[in-house]
Amino acid sequence: MNPMLVVGIVGLPNVGKSSLFNALSAGQAEVSNYPFTTIDSNLGVVTVPDPRLEELERVLGPDECHPCHIEFIDIAGLVEGASRGEGLGNKFLGAIRQVDAIAHVVRCFGGTEVAHVFAEVDPVRDAEVVETELLLADLEILEKALEKRRKEWQTNPRAYRGDKERLEHYLELLEKAIPLRSLRPDREALQEMKALGLLTGKPVLFVANVGEEECGEEGSSRLEDLKNLGPWPDSGEEAIVVPISAKIEGELLQLEPDERLLFMEELGLAATGLDRVIEAAFRLLGLIRFYTLANRKLQAWEVPSGTLAPQAAGQIHTDMERGFIRAHVATFEQLRDHGGFQELHHLGLLRTEGKAYAIQDGDVVEFFFSG
């Protein structure tokens, strides 16, 4: 199986995280009307919907076809004081450190039949509670890391100058309640933050759990308020918000495909919640998909936009990156229309690309490398 994108589903207790997880993954997470139903994290691996891959499989007729996958982790509900170990705080914070992105579920539906930690519905307040706990947890982690490293830095100030300035800048931001994702960390910085156990550098999207009557709507005031939170405070950018009715998604899961499409049309839904969350996660992380066909095996791969051909080959095997020579590249549309690399070669449409080529979304690639 390909390396997977891991998305953590987080939020306050009883906002619909487990219901959403079950709808997304067809999982069996326990769902009940009391806090801390989810004590241990639930894991679900889902196939990334990919119409292009389905079309390539139809045209090329491979022996095997492997789509991309996403792993969703339904993480125990967080409460105020989690950074100090309140509720299931330690379990929550430990589980979230392993994820690539955060899907933050907030309650946007009214009614009193479902218990909630606060009496009134206020998704912005709920989001800020979780964000504050992540900031406090990061502050504690970073202060301890700095305490340990300062002794090491004193032994050779010049050699460690960059590390010292960077981590102290992290601390300055956190003390101002600014999450580390405000730095727009690159892959290397994200790996460093992950190694340190820091949380606020992870990209976040909001999943607004709306009522059945709001399903399919995009413009409610609560959703606009969430968008205005931005990727970080006062960023001037809109946050990614995906409105979903976890209850309706669960009902869709019980229907046959034809019935599901009819029901979605009645509700004004162009795509399922799974499709919309996955699309939002790809957009959040700047991911694209390319395809390979080797030894009669068609496979989809996900990489960050801008990934160069050798590094894309490295997704398949590290030897392919080290020994990269060249790549034959076609677009999805070309293969769909003409049926194979050999046909494209005869037509003069098959391109040869080198180490400086950045893989494009929808590319179909054949890599050549030295063993």
Strand order in the sheet with 287-294: 64-66, 297-304, 287-294, 363-369, 324-331, 351-353
Higher pLDDT, 256 or 37: 256
The answer to whether the Cα torsion of 54, 60, 65, 69 is positive or negative is: negative
**103 and 133, same domain (yes or no):** yes
Q: Is residue 55 part of a domain?
A: no
How many structural domains does the chain have? 2
Nearest CA-CA partner of 277 in 95, 39, 105, 52: 105
The pTM assigned to this predicted structure is 0.83
Q: Name the domain boundary from 227, 251, 284.
A: 284
CATH of the domain at 165: 3.40.50.300
Whether the pLDDT of residue 82 is over 60: the answer is no
Ranked by mean pLDDT, the top range of 12-26, 200-214, 224-238 is 200-214
Position 341 scores a pLDDT of 85
Do 211 and 355 reside in the same domain of the chain?
A: no
Same domain, 44 and 105: yes
| Residue-number span of the structural domain to which 317 is assigned | 306-369
Q: Residue 116, exposed/middle/buried by CB under 10 A (0-12, 13-18, 19+)?
A: middle
What is the rounded CA–CA span in Å between residue 55 and residue 35? 44
Q: Is residue 272 part of a domain?
A: yes
Residue 296 lies in a domain: no
Model confidence at 296: pLDDT above 70 = yes
Q: Is residue 299 part of a domain?
A: no
Instruction: Tell me the per-residue pLDDT of 140-198, one tens digit each, with 9 for 90 and over.
Output: 889 999 998 888 888 888 888 888 899 999 999 999 999 999 999 988 898 899 888 89
Residues 276 and 358 occupy one common structural domain: no
Instruction: Assign residue 334 the CATH number of its domain.
Output: 3.10.20.30
Q: What is the mean pLDDT of the chain?
A: 84
Look at residue 50 and give its three-state secondary structure.
Answer: coil
Same domain membership, residue 215 and residue 333: no
Residues with Cβ within 8 Å of residue 304, at least 6 apart in sequence: 187, 285, 286, 287, 288
Residues 180 and 264 placed together within one structural domain of the fold: yes
325 & 259 share domain: no
pLDDT of residue 219: 56
Do residue 331 and residue 365 come from a single domain? Answer: yes
Look at residue 217 and tell me whether its pLDDT is greater than 80.
Answer: no
- 336-353 pLDDT per residue, tens: 999 888 899 899 999 999
**Structure confidence by residue, pLDDT tens digits, 14-62:** 787 877 877 777 644 333 333 333 345 677 888 888 999 999 999 999 9
- Tokens 């992870």, residue located: 202
Residue 20: both structure tokens together = 């959403």
- Residue 357 maps to a domain: yes
The answer to whether residues 274 and 319 belong to one domain is no
Phi, psi of 252 (to 5 degrees): -60, -35
One domain, residues 315 and 241: no
Predicted confidence at residue 371, as pLDDT, reads: 73
Judgement on whether residues 249 and 110 belong to the same structural domain of the protein: yes
- Please check the confidence at residue 260 and state whether its pLDDT lies above 60: yes
End-to-end CA distance of the chain: 23
Q: In this structure, is residue 301 part of a structural domain?
A: no
Shared domain for 220 and 280, answered yes or no, is yes
Q: For residue 294, is it within any domain?
A: no
- Give a three-class secondary structure readout of 118-163: CCCCCHHHHHHHHHHHHHHHHHHHHHHHHHHHHHHHHHCCCCCHHH
Residue 295: inside a domain, yes or no?
Answer: no
